Chain A
Amino acid sequence: MSVPSQSVDTAAPVSPAPPKAAFETLLEILRQRYLASFLSVAGGLALWELISRVLVANSLFLAAPSQIAVAIYNLARTGQLGHHVGVSAAEFALGYVIACAIGIGLGLAMAASATMKQALQPWVSGLYATPTIALAPLFILWFGIGIWSKVLVVVTLVLFPVAINTEAGLRTTSERLIEMLRSFGATRRQIFLKVSLPSAVPFILAGLKLGIGRGLIGVVVAELFGSRAGLGNLISQSADAFNMPDLFAGVVILAFAGIVMTAGFGWLEQRLVPWTRD
């Protein structure tokens, strides 16, 4: 070999690699971690494109990825997309924040007192298992087709997993850690703040993560039942008009939002609760 080889002594300190080698290492890492995923997604999209152009060459039934991309571009250009996304995002955000606040509060109350838990448990468990989304038409009747009926749907869907996880997280605090704090003369309040709450954070985050998917479903389905704007509205109007590219545009945006928010939570978990990884 003409190139001077690197030291083979693995115990020696690693010298900084030259830039080119670093770039190649990066490529290697990308290839190892993401190549299969990338090929799978790209292959899937290509297959979809092929099927919708050759096999189901009927734009009333299926839109090709390229057509969807064009539709998204056009909807964005005219400002329609921004409006729909804005309305849905507002509904989701309001409902989600309200649900998290109440849900964490309920969880805390249930963990704090046995009586409280006995009183609330049947409601929380029952409503968690109920597809409360079926109440969306009722909420629209009560609160009109504006955003508040959707906010309520989101709240009823997100609230219960958050409450259940918060309570579970606080309840499963390690007895060993509580005992350790007690040995240092900690008060009940200090035990709650310094052990129970921090150790419940991973559970609470898992509940919040679960709430994302449920909340998005809530927004869209509630909008399908009756709305003036929003991604659900876009989807239902496009379906009525047999405008498949616009319909899929709505779906793709929703999928994207779900993926981004869930990935965001994954990142948040790594930052906030790194000790749960191992």
Chain B
Amino acid sequence: MSKLAISRLNKSFGDLEALRGINLAVERGEFISVVGPSGCGKTTFLRIIAGLEQATSGEVLLDGHAVRKPGSDRGFVFQNDSLLPWRTVLDNAIIGRELAGPVRPADRKDTMELLKLVGLEGFEHYHPRQLSGGMRQRVNLARALAIDPEILLMDEPFAALDAQTREIMQTELLRIWERGQKTVLFVTHQIDEAVFLSDRVLVFARRPGRLQAEVKIPLPRPRNLAIKRTSEFVALVDRIWRMIEDDVRAAALYENT
């Protein structure tokens, strides 16, 4: 049985058809990215799986159970860090467990371990305003991991970071993923990011948002940044770019008018 099985998923906002007929099967431990031009519904797709948005029709099954509302089997990593400014790093990271019930010393210990894993050891008692953008996204990731979800849903988590920090965060994410082998669904508009991280890249098209193609990434693991300079990598990025190029141009034009 697939970890995540999506069949005939449709979503409309009034007259606007955001997603049409999406079918997808994700295996346990897979790292899947979704790329596409703005307006292709990739974030809506992720939000439906998270239970933050209701599908108009179709089905999302996680471990065979239908998804209708948010739950602790899914960890969501937001584009903006969405940290609570009055809470420390530790208290932010632990919030998922706190919502589930009283926080036990074991929860604190686990969360401290996670903060160490994402490279925030020693910053547990800092407040978000004292951290850099990259560090805040690390807390964002630790917060999602802290509920030990079946699947990690990541919505352009590195989009707001500068190029260098983004590359570091990509390798860090791979390091963490390779340790825990969580199933990850990662939305991004950066093709090279998707290729670098993923086992498979789903290419979405716009108007209506639909799954246009699926590209397997046969690059060996573990991967490091040097792989981005190999001809194989560049060829994959190029292939995906050519798939969405016309759509991206249309989207850019549409957004400017």
A residues sitting closer than 8 Å to B (CB atoms) are 176-177, 179-186, 190, 194-195, 198-199, 201, 273-275, 278
Which residues of chain A are within 8 angstroms of B82 by Cβ–Cβ distance?
176-177, 179-180
Q: Identify the interface centre among A184, A194, A198: most chain B CB within 10 Å of its CB.
A: A184
The smallest beta-carbon distance between A86 and chain B, in angstroms, is: 37
Task: Identify A176's interface contact among B71, B78, B95, CB under 8 A.
Answer: B78
Per DSSP, chain B at the interface is loop
Contact with A along B122-153 (1 / 0, CB 8 A): 00000111000000000000000001000000
Closest B residue by C-beta to A186: B99
Asked whether, in the complex, the Cβ of B50 is within 8 Å of the Cβ of A183, the reply is yes
Return the chain A residue nearest B95 by Cβ: A184
CB-CB under 8 A for A183 and B76, given A177-B82, A198-B86, A273-B86 = yes
Bound-state Cα–Cα, A179 to B129, Å: 20
CA distance A22 to B96 in the complex (A): 46
Between A and B, 13 residue pairs with Cβ closer than 8 Å are A176-B78, A179-B78, A183-B74, A183-B78, A184-B99, A185-B69, A185-B71, A186-B99, A194-B98, A195-B84, A198-B84, A199-B86, A275-B127
Known contacts A273-B86, A275-B85: does B80 contact A181 (CB below 8 Å)?
no
Given contacts A184-B72, A184-B147, A185-B99, contact A176 B80 (CB under 8 A): yes
A183 to B51, CA, bound (A): 7
B52 interface contact, C-beta 8 A: yes
What sequence of 0s and 1s flags, for each residue 54-92 of chain B, a beta carbon within 8 Å of any chain A beta carbon?
000000000000000111101010101010111000000
State A180–B99 Cα separation when bound (angstroms): 12
Residues of A within 8 A of B99 (CB): 181, 184-186, 190, 194
Task: Give the interface SS of chain A, mostly helix, strand, loop or mixed.
Answer: helix
The 3 closest A-B pairs by CB, nearest first: A275-B85, A180-B82, A183-B76
Contact for B52 among A183, A190, A195, CB less than 8 A? A183
B249 nearest CB across to chain A (Å): 30
Known: A182-B70, A190-B99. A275 touches B80 (CB 8 A): no
Q: Which residue of chain B is the closest to A195 with respect to CB atoms? A: B84
A181 to B70, CA, bound (A): 10
| CA gap between A274 and B52 in the complex, in Å | 31
Q: Which residues of B contact A186 (CB under 8 A)?
A: 99
Residues of chain A lying within 8 A (CB to CB) of residue B70? 182-185
- Given A180-B82, A184-B95, 8 further pairs, Cβ under 8 A: A181-B99, A183-B74, A184-B99, A184-B147, A185-B69, A194-B84, A194-B95, A275-B86
Contacts of A183 in B (CB 8 A): 50-52, 70, 74, 76, 78
Q: In the complex the two chains form, what is the Cα distance from A210 to B72 in whole Å?
A: 43
Q: Does the CB pair B52–A182 fall under 8 Å?
A: yes
